[in-house]
Amino acid sequence: MRGFLLILRKDLHAEFRRPESLVSMVFFGFLLLVILNLAIPLGSEISPETGAGILWVAITFSSILGLSRTMSREKENRCIDGLLLSPVSIEALFCAKMAMNFVLMLIAQCSIIPLFFVLYGDSFLQSLPLLVLVVLLANTGFAAIGTLFSAITAGTDRNEALLPLLFYPLVIPLISITVKVSSLIFQGAAPGEYSSWLYVMLAYGCIFTGLGVLLLSHIVRE
Amino acid sequence: MSIKRDQMAVIFAALLFGTAVYMVFLYAPTERVMGPIQKIFYFHLSCALLAFLSFFTAFVSGIMYLVSKDMKWDIRGLASVEIGLLFTTLVLITGVLWGRPVWNTWWTWDPRLTTSLILWFIYASYFILRSSVTRRDKRAVFCAVLAIVGFVDVPIVFLSARLWRTIHPVVIRAGSIDMAPAMITALLVALGTFTVLWGILLYQRTKTLGLAGRVGNLEKQLDGELL
Amino acid sequence: MGAFLSVNRLCKDYEGRRALRDVSFVLEKGDFLSLFGPNGAGKSTLLSIVSTLVSPGAGQVEVKGFDLMEEPEQFKKQLGVISHNSLLYNHMTALENLIFYASLYKVKDPGKTALELLRVVELYPRRHSRVGQFSRGMRQRLSIARALVNDPSLLLLDEPFSGLDQYAAAILTEQLAELRDKERTVIMVTHNLERGLNTATKVGILAAGRLVFMESRQDVDRTLFEAAYFKYARGAGPV
């Protein structure tokens, strides 16, 4: 627990001192929100499905910029070896990196989601509290897989360019569930209609967090 | 000796294929609504099941590699994914060929087809990953992890594939197709044939990759001695 | 008083080549082993296995009777490593780096320890500068301090003198002498016969993955040892 907090604090400290990841995530997220506007016919109200799709494409595509950096940061001067040599457990290392990704995504969402409401109409605004729940569940899954695979790509010759190619195929199911649930929430559907999907999202997060904890030691050790 | 045995296996598979073609095209009756295009279903389903089996063997090989760190499991995993991706590609092609006359569209977001498509992407990325790592032990670990994570993803992919927009509101399910007993027999023969083909492919591919690995090792040792 | 560190029939294959073959040796507490050998002899592999970063292909490493692979956490607390890489974060200051590592090792007062070490490696005036701005020599001095942050009872040094400027080398020599006096156990891998022989209590030669020579320092005649070393170095081909 102590090691977890120390590593997380170190990473947050570094990010706040020079917020490279956050700035690029938010900037790219804004860009995507503007570009995706092209998909909507002129003068028409956007449907909840389209809105949810646009929102989550912007979030997931911008998040990759942050995810790819959490592990590659440890590659400089082989700092990862410094962590592995210390008495900190590999579980604490995985959880710290995953928490870092979770927080990065959350902070970026804090500016992407409001801009989404501004650009695409505040008719969706009443669904905000439930959307927060979806965001938290989705972030868990994205952060878990993102952490595991950013550890892998940090060990390859192609580095960060490889992450999206490995990451997106695996998170397609999570993206499609998240979009579906968000669109139901935007429609104002009764929670009973999508509560089972929330459990699937929760299970997804738990399963891949567990797998990440189990598999990380194989990836980072020589 | 073993080469002779391998040849026998190939001849056996060829004979089985002749039988399967006979069973599918002549023995089984032609489906009333869809007509002869329904014949593709026998091969489509067989490919789908064997693709799934391949990914399962890749999953098991991945676990075995991480436990034992024995390169032979890496090779088995690679052979499994190669064959699995081949069969998934066949599933997609036969699916598209079937969909065109039956549903009057090349592609439909039917959950099974969507699942196959997503699986195709996951396991195609396996090869991109493979080509991006030079160190063999690292490559084996990374690929094992991808094979494990990818397979764990399969049930969730299938579950979520229901959410993709479906062009046709009524999804035609394999189980709901009216199947005459002769059709079931033909299906089982086709399935058996493809399973034999799958076994031969997996065995031969594993052997070839193993030999290639040994040649690589010998070359390295030779370099080491010359150094 | 039993063995502090015992390495038992260690083997490791790397990419189809045998990096280590059947390496065994025992170190008592306070031993300072200088390990020599030509390039590619397996010296770094041996250190990586002892430091738990690489798993052995076969054989065991035991520290105070505990198997390394089975109980690594206890062992890691007492381990210090100086490797080719500095293991330092460029974006953090010298002080932050040392405090971070000291906290990972659960050192009592990380701030005080860090400042003391910065004085030892004579970087105290630059403690608030980022490591990214440091010269190579300064980084190496800081990585010496980093390795000592937990007051290790076993120290592993991989070519610590290579590329070191004179100033840093002097500081390192001083620290090594102090460690020997404090009865710390040290394994130092080096090319440099002069420095290796000076501080060592034991000397060994690793060639083509085998430990071909291992003696107490006082039983070794300097000129004869040099001759033996060059013979093995040449035996492995041009270095």
* Cβ contact C15–B227 (<8 Å): no
Put simply, the answer to whether B220 touches C237 (Cβ < 8 Å) is: no
* Candidate from B129, B156, B164 with C-beta closest to A166: B129
Q: Which CATH superfamily is domain C1-78+152-239 in?
A: P-loop containing nucleotide triphosphate hydrolases (3.40.50.300)
Compute the average pLDDT of residues A151-155: 92
pLDDT at position A44, please?
A: 72
B window 110-139, beta carbon within 8 A of A: 118, 121-122, 124-125, 128-129, 132-134, 138
Model pLDDT, residue B224: 66
Structural contact between residues A88 and A7, judged by C-beta atoms closer than 8 angstroms? yes
Average of per-residue pLDDT values in chain C:
86
B134-138, C128-132, C225-229, C235-239: range with lowest mean pLDDT:
C235-239
- C-alpha C231 chain-centroid distance: 25
Min mean pLDDT across B15-19, B27-31, B48-52 is at: B27-31
Assess whether pLDDT exceeds 80 at residue A90.
yes
A6 close to B (CB below 8 A): no
Average pLDDT over every residue of C190-194: 82
Q: Do A172 and B128 touch (CB under 8 A)?
A: no
Residue A182, pLDDT above cutoff 90: yes
Torsion angle of C-alpha atoms C188, C193, C196, C199, degrees rounded to 10: 170
Verify whether the Cβ–Cβ distance B221 to C237 is below 8 Å.
no
- The parent domain of residue A195 ranges over 2-221
Residues B121-174 have pLDDT tens digits of: 999 999 999 999 988 889 999 999 999 999 999 999 888 887 776 544 444 454
Question: For residue range A3-32, what is the model confidence (pLDDT) as tens digits?
Answer: 999 999 999 999 998 898 999 999 999 999
Which residues on chain C place their C-beta less than 8 Å from a C-beta of chain B?
Answer: 14-17, 40, 55, 237
Could you read off the pLDDT of C74-83 as tens digits, one per residue?
A: 788 889 999 8
Check whether C100 has a pLDDT greater than 90: yes
Q: How far apart are CA A23 and CA C239, in angstroms?
A: 49
Contacts of residue C86 in chain A, CB cutoff 8 Å? 77
The whole-number pLDDT of residue B77 equals 97
At residue A201, does pLDDT exceed 90?
Answer: yes
- Average the pLDDT over C9-29 and give the result: 84
**B161 is written with which tokens?**
């594939």
Nearest to C200 by CA among C208, C212, C213: C213
The Cα-based distances of C118 to A22, B52, C114 in angstroms read 33, 59, 6
Which residue, B50, B45, B30, is CA-closest to B179? B30
Q: Is the Cβ pair C101, A82 closer than 8 Å?
A: yes
Token pair 């801009």: residue: A115
Query: Residue C236: its pLDDT value, please?
Result: 52
Chain C hits for B224, CB-CB cut-off 8 Å, are: 17
User: Mean pLDDT in chain A?
Assistant: 91
Average pLDDT over residues A124-148: 92
Whole-angstrom distance, CA of residue C98 vs CA of residue C127: 10
Q: Give the pLDDT confidence score for residue A79 in this predicted structure.
A: 92
pLDDT score recorded for residue C218 = 81
Tokens linked to A117: 């409401």
Per-residue model confidence (pLDDT) at position A125: 77
Helix, strand, coil in percent for chain A, rounding step 5: 90, 0, 10
Q: Which two tokens stand for residue B42?
A: 């026998």
Using CB atoms, which residue from A77, A86, A222 is nearest to C90? A77
- Check if the beta carbon of residue C199 is closer than 8 Å to that of residue C32: yes
pLDDT in tens, B159-199: 888 777 654 444 445 445 557 788 888 889 999 999 999 99
Confidence tier at B108 by pLDDT (50, 70, 90) = confident
**pLDDT given for residue B165 in this prediction:** 63
Q: Give the nearest partner residue to B159 out of A169, A170, A200, using CB atoms.
A: A200
Q: How far apart are CA B40 and CA A181, in angstroms?
A: 36
pLDDT at C165: 81
Determine the Cα–Cα distance for residues C87 and C53; give it in Å rounded to an integer: 13
Q: Which of B69, B135, B221 shows the shortest C-beta gap to C17? A: B221
Q: How many domains does chain A have?
A: 1
DSSP strands (E only) in chain C: 5-14, 17-27, 32-36, 58-63, 66-67, 79-82, 154-158, 185-189, 202-207, 210-216
User: What is the number of H-type helices and E-type strands within chain C?
Assistant: 8, 10
CB contact under 8 A, A222 and C88: no
pLDDT in the model for residue C227? 82
Quick check: C2 pLDDT over 70? no
Does the pLDDT of residue B49 top 80, yes or no? yes
CA dist C58 to B31, B138, C13, Å? Answer: 62, 19, 9
What pLDDT score does B177 carry? Answer: 54
**DSSP 3-state assignment of C145?**
helix
- Verify whether the Cβ–Cβ distance C15 to B224 is below 8 Å: no
How far, in Å, CA of B190 to CA of B28, rounded? 11
More confident residue, C196 or C97: C97
Contact check, Cβ <8 Å, B156/A215? no
How confident is the model at residue C88, as a pLDDT? 94
- Which residue of chain B is at minimal alpha-carbon distance from C57? B69
Condensed to tens digits (0 to 9), the pLDDT of residues C125-159 reads: 999 999 999 988 889 889 999 999 999 989 999 98
**Could you tell me which residue, B101 or B204, shows the higher pLDDT?**
B204
Q: Tell me, what DSSP letter sits at residue B23? A: I
Mean pLDDT in residue range C2-24: 83
Query: Which A positions 123-162 lie with beta carbon below 8 A of chain B?
Result: 145, 148, 152, 155-158, 162
Tell me the average pLDDT of chain B: 86
Q: Over the stretch C33-76, which tens digit does the pLDDT of each residue have?
A: 999 888 778 888 899 999 888 888 888 888 887 777 777 777 88
Interface of B with C in 67-96 (CB under 8 A): 69
Structural domain boundaries of chain C?
1-78+152-239, 84-151
The Cα–Cα gap between C168 and C160 comes to 10
pLDDT surpassing 80 at residue A110: yes
CB count within 10 Å of CB C85 equals 15
Tell me what pLDDT residue A135 has: 96
Closest chain B CA to residue C239: B227
Q: How far is C238 from chain B (nearest CA, A)?
A: 8
